[in-house]
Amino acid sequence: MKVYRCYFLDLDGVVYRGNERLPGAREFIEWIEASGREYLYLSNNSMSTPAEVAARIQALGLPAPLERVVTAGSAAALYLAQHYAGARVFVLGLPPLAQMVREAGLKVLSEDDGAQAEVVLVGLDRSLTYARLSVAVQAVLNGAAFVAVNRDPLLPMEGKLEPGSGAIAAAIQASTGVSPYMVGKPDPGIIREALRLIHARPEETAIIGDGLTLDIPAGYQAGIATILLLSGITSRAQISDAAIQPDAVYDDLAALLADLQSHEPGDSNRG
């Protein structure tokens, strides 16, 4: 396995499972930091701020500086700041998403003014009403750009499934005929924002994930290397059926680290 300069790490199934830190997670981050490489934690989450995600990682005994955490929500805010600087945005999402949009320098509109938005941003919205959905639809019909945090149709919760942000985006798409720009995995937007954030080139970067339908396609579309771990939702038997094959497969971060260290003569193999 080539040793890369930058690593993007998925969280659940890679770094932790529930409240359990997975094998090799701390050692892998320590190796990255000691060798002067770059890393970011990537999460498809639109419900929590990067600070909240960082706090969870830190509670498991891992280093997680705020600047090392990118969520689909924060990536969406970065995308809007980059492509729609200063725009008026109507947000269908939880308060942390709207706050990230404000912090990125954009104006978040109320329901009363939402139809005049220049951008409609959709995330998970547990306070969604027909009236708010109608405002978003009208704004898109009026020409607003349409951006969604991710395409997840279902959100796994304790003992049940709830509609995800992708379900809300799909309703707007069905009403307007307009397809949204998707930021989160399996779309490559979050990775492109992460690359821009740390000034990294695709050829020197790898994503480490546990999902054949999320992490691997996102990395492939963004032109970076893809590493699949079997410490999460994917079994080895499922790999051969995947439409997009990972570049490498390991049991967990401990196994990946052992292989990387064995193929690293000094620093000459760095990507």
Could you give the residue numbers annotated as active site?
A: 10, 12
Token look-up 């049991």 returns 251
Token look-up 């798409």 returns 173
Identify the CA nearest to 235 among candidates 13, 12, 2: 13
Structure tokens at 27: 């050692």
CA dihedral sign of residues 251, 68, 99, 85: negative
Token look-up 């919760």 returns 157
- Note if the bond before 63 is cis, omega within 30 degrees: no
Return the DSSP state at 58: H
Structure tokens at 197: 């954030």
Cα(60)–Cα(224) distance, integer angstroms? 28
Cα(52)–Cα(94) distance, integer angstroms? 14
Cα(106)–Cα(63) distance, integer angstroms? 30
